[in-house]
């Protein structure tokens, strides 16, 4: 007798089938707000050592699933493993965020490898295999990469900056060189995402954290078009690949992003305007989001109200409950439990 594959509520929503209780997970759900993460992190050495040890990476991926029973696990890694595999120096300074050797001239960009050394990413694939084997079949496993624009902002500046001005300036001054950098990221991101699918990822998310700093013309060229090419390139090999885009800060440009990229779902930040989302985004694709991570820190009645607002705005359609951006380290675990109880108690 052949066994029916278990239904994954998260994938159901991405396939266009609304769930009466929305599936739920949190961006950055494996991380410093969890004592079990901090404990493993303290013994792991550097952050990249943790990402590239399949046993540890699988363990921290599973920690929030065990504790909270989320509907999706996201593989523990970082968007900057792609520049690392391209041969760039990537370090994470404690409490300061990422540091890379800046790639900020056309000459430097010309020296960039066209193809990543994918053996460097093999530990991520191995971690995916281990997580998939350990995970309840009802739980979706998400693979991810950064969108080329967002990854490029860190590669150009060598660090995060408040408005990613170095990459914006380079894109204006040296559009051909910048386009080469974006092309390299598009091609290698396609291969990386296909590798994650082959290793057991059920769905993919493309993080464009810095999409919102771009004016419309640049947004179309540097955020939308590269993401569209990635989606197309992945689907050329895996036609039914399920892909979520997260163009943070895209605001009124979300409908155009969804139409052009052909993603199956879009993750929205907490500034999104509900009627625009319902009428011009959720009518086409699944919507994921968008609790303000600060409401989750605040807790109490403010948290209840924010959860209820998100449910009232979006749970009538295809909807995955999530935050509008990553959970912050100071968030009390009791507030995550409060949020989950309220989402799961939703009668819809």
309 is catalytic: no
Q: How far apart are CA 106 and CA 332, in angstroms?
A: 46
Q: How far apart are CA 21 and CA 17, in angstroms?
A: 12
* Residue 1, burial from CB neighbour count under 10 angstroms (0-12, 13-18, 19+): exposed
Q: Does 270 sit near ligand CP3 (CB under 6 A)?
A: no
Q: Which of 18, 28, 120, 284 binds ligand CP3 (CB under 6 A)?
A: 28
For residue 152 the two structure tokens come to: 């490029």
Asked if residues 125 and 85 have their Cβ atoms less than 8 Å apart, the reply is no
Residue whose Cβ sits closest to ligand CP3: 209
Which one, of 209, 111, 121, 205, lies nearest residue 160 by Cα? 209
* Cβ density class 117-132: b for 16+ within 10 Å, e for less: eeeebebbbbbbebbb
Q: Does 278 sit near ligand CP3 (CB under 6 A)?
A: no
300-309: long-range contacts, CB 8 A cutoff, minimum separation 24: 303/335, 303/338, 303/339, 304/338, 304/342, 307/339, 307/342, 307/343, 308/342
Residue 319 phi/psi, 5-degree rounding, is -150, 135
Report the nearest approach of ligand CP3 to the CB of residue 47 (Å). Answer: 4
Q: How far apart are CA 330 and CA 181, in angstroms?
A: 36
Q: Does 27 sit near ligand CP3 (CB under 6 A)?
A: yes
Report the nearest approach of ligand CP3 to the CB of residue 66 (Å). Answer: 14
Report the nearest approach of ligand CP3 to the CB of residue 74 (Å). Answer: 4
Report the nearest approach of ligand CP3 to the CB of residue 5 (Å). Answer: 25
Q: Does 92 sit near ligand CP3 (CB under 6 A)?
A: yes
Q: Does 207 sit near ligand CP3 (CB under 6 A)?
A: yes
Q: Does 67 sit near ligand CP3 (CB under 6 A)?
A: no
Binding segment (CB under 6 A) for ligand CP3, from list 74-82, 126-134, 294-302, 330-338: 74-82
Report the nearest approach of ligand CP3 to the CB of residue 68 (Å). Answer: 12
78 is catalytic: yes
Report the nearest approach of ligand CP3 to the CB of residue 207 (Å). Answer: 4
Which one, of 76, 219, 205, 198, lies nearest residue 145 by Cα? 205
Binding segment (CB under 6 A) for ligand CP3, from list 24-32, 111-119, 162-170, 180-188: 24-32
Q: Which of the following is catalytic: 41, 67, 91, 221? A: 41
41 is catalytic: yes
Report the nearest approach of ligand CP3 to the CB of residue 174 (Å). Answer: 23
Q: How far apart are CA 233 and CA 227, in angstroms?
A: 10
Measure CA of the first residue to CA of the last residue in the chain; give whole Å. Answer: 35
Binding segment (CB under 6 A) for ligand CP3, from list 70-78, 184-192, 254-262, 278-286: 70-78
Q: How far apart are CA 168 and CA 212, in angstroms?
A: 12
Q: Which is nearer to ligand CP3, 32 or 138 (CB)?
A: 32
Binding segment (CB under 6 A) for ligand CP3, from list 91-99, 101-109, 232-240, 304-312: 91-99
Residue 237: CB atoms within 10 A of its CB come to 13
Q: Does 235 sit near ligand CP3 (CB under 6 A)?
A: no
For residue 322 the two structure tokens come to: 């999530």
Residue 340 phi/psi, 5-degree rounding, is -65, -45
Q: Does 44 sit near ligand CP3 (CB under 6 A)?
A: no
32 is catalytic: yes
Q: How far apart are CA 216 and CA 44, in angstroms?
A: 42
In sequence order, what are the beta bridge partners of 143? 204
Q: Which of the following is catalytic: 33, 37, 125, 154? A: 154
For residue 309 the two structure tokens come to: 């607002």
28 is catalytic: yes
Binding segment (CB under 6 A) for ligand CP3, from list 25-33, 126-134, 179-187, 223-231: 25-33
Q: Which of 138, 183, 326, 338 binds ligand CP3 (CB under 6 A)?
A: 326
Residues lying near ligand CP3 in the complex (CB under 6 A) are found at: 27-32, 41, 47, 74, 76, 78-80, 92, 97-98, 144, 146, 150, 160, 207, 209, 326
Question: Which of the residues are catalytic?
Answer: 28, 32, 41, 78, 154
């Amino acid at each position: 007798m052949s066994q029916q594959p278990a239904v994954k509520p998260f994938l159901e929503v991405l396939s266009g089938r609304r769930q009466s209780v929305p599936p739920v997970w949190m961006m950055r759900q494996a991380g410093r707000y969890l004592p079990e993460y901090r404990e493993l992190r303290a013994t792991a050495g550097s952050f990249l050592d943790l990402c590239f040890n399949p046993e540890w990476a699988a363990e921290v991926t599973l920690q929030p699933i065990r504790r909270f029973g989320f509907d999706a696990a996201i593989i523990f890694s970082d968007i900057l493993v792609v520049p690392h595999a391209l041969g760039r120096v990537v370090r994470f300074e404690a409490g300061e965020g990422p540091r890379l050797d800046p790639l900020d001239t056309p000459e430097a960009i010309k020296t960039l490898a066209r193809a990543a050394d994918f053996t460097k990413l093999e530990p991520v694939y191995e971690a995916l295999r281990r997580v998939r084997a350990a995970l309840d079949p009802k739980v979706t496993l998400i693979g991810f990469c950064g969108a080329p624009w967002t990854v490029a902002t860190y590669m150009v500046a060598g660090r995060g900056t408040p408005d990613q001005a170095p990459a914006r300036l380079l894109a204006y001054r040296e559009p051909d060189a910048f386009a080469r950098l974006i092309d390299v990221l598009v091609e290698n991101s396609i291969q990386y995402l296909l590798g994650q699918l082959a290793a057991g990822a059920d769905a993919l998310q493309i993080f464009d954290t810095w999409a919102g700093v771009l004016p419309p013309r640049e947004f179309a060229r540097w955020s939308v078009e590269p993401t569209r090419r990635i989606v197309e390139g992945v689907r050329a090999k895996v036609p039914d690949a399920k892909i979520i885009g997260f163009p943070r800060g895209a605001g009124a440009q979300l409908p155009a992003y969804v139409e052009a990229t052909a993603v199956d779902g879009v993750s929205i930040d907490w500034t999104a305007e509900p009627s625009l989302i319902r009428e011009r985004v959720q009518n086409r694709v699944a919507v994921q989001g968008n609790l303000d991570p600060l409401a989750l820190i605040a807790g109490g009645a403010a948290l209840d109200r924010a959860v209820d607002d998100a449910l009232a705005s979006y749970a009538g359609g295809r909807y995955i409950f999530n935050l509008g951006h990553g959970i912050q380290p100071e968030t009390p675990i009791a507030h995550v439990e409060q949020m989950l109880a309220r989402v799961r108690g939703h009668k819809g």
